[in-house]
Structure 1
Amino acid sequence: MKVIVVAFLISSFLSFKTEAAPELLDSVSVIVDQGVVLESQITELITVVKRNAALNDQTLPSDRALRTQAIEKLIIDNLQMQMAERMGIRISDPQLEQTIGNIAKGENMEIAEFREKVAREGVTYDVYREEIRKELILGEVRRANVRRRVYITEQEIANLVKLIDEQGDQQAEFNLGHILIEFPPEPTDEDIAKAKIRADKVLELLTKGSEFAKIATASSGGSRALEGGDLGWMNINSMPTLFAEAVDKKDKDDLIGPIRSGAGFHILKVKDVRGIEKVEVAEVNARHILIAPSVILSDEKAEKMLKEFREQILAGEADFAELAKEHSADPGSALKGGELGWADPNIYVPEFIATLTKLEVDEISQPIRTQYGWHIMQLTGKRVGDATEKRKEEKASQLLWQRKFAEETDVWLREIRASAYIEVLPQQGE
Structure 2
Amino acid sequence: MSDAARITKLVLDRVTELEEPNRRRSRANSLEEEIVRFLLEVIENVQKCISFEVESETTLDHDDGNVFSNPEDESIDPNVDETEDVESPPTTMNFTLDYMKKVIDYYDSHGHKLMNWYRQWDGTVNSLNQESKRGRARIMTQQEVKDYILEFVKSMNNKRVYVDYQMVQTHIKFVLKREVPIRTIRRYGKESGIKWKKTRGITLRDADKIFWYNIGQFRSSLQRIANDRLIFIDETAVYFIMIPRKTLVASGQQPLILVTQPSVYAKRYDFIGAINGSQSNACRTLTSEDRNYRRIKGVRQAVINQWITDTLASAINRLHIDNIYLICDQTRAHNEVDMIEVLRAGKCESVKEILHMPTASAKYVSPLDNLLWHSFKKVIRNRHPLSTTDIPPLLLSESFYSLSKQEIENAYRKCGLVYGTDEHYDRP
Q: TM bucket by the smaller chain?
A: under 0.3
TM-score by length of 2: 0.19
User: Which has the bigger relative contact order, CA under 8 A and spacing at least 6?
Assistant: 1
Q: Which has the larger radius of gyration?
A: 2
TM-score by length of 1: 0.19
Structure number with the higher strand fraction is 1
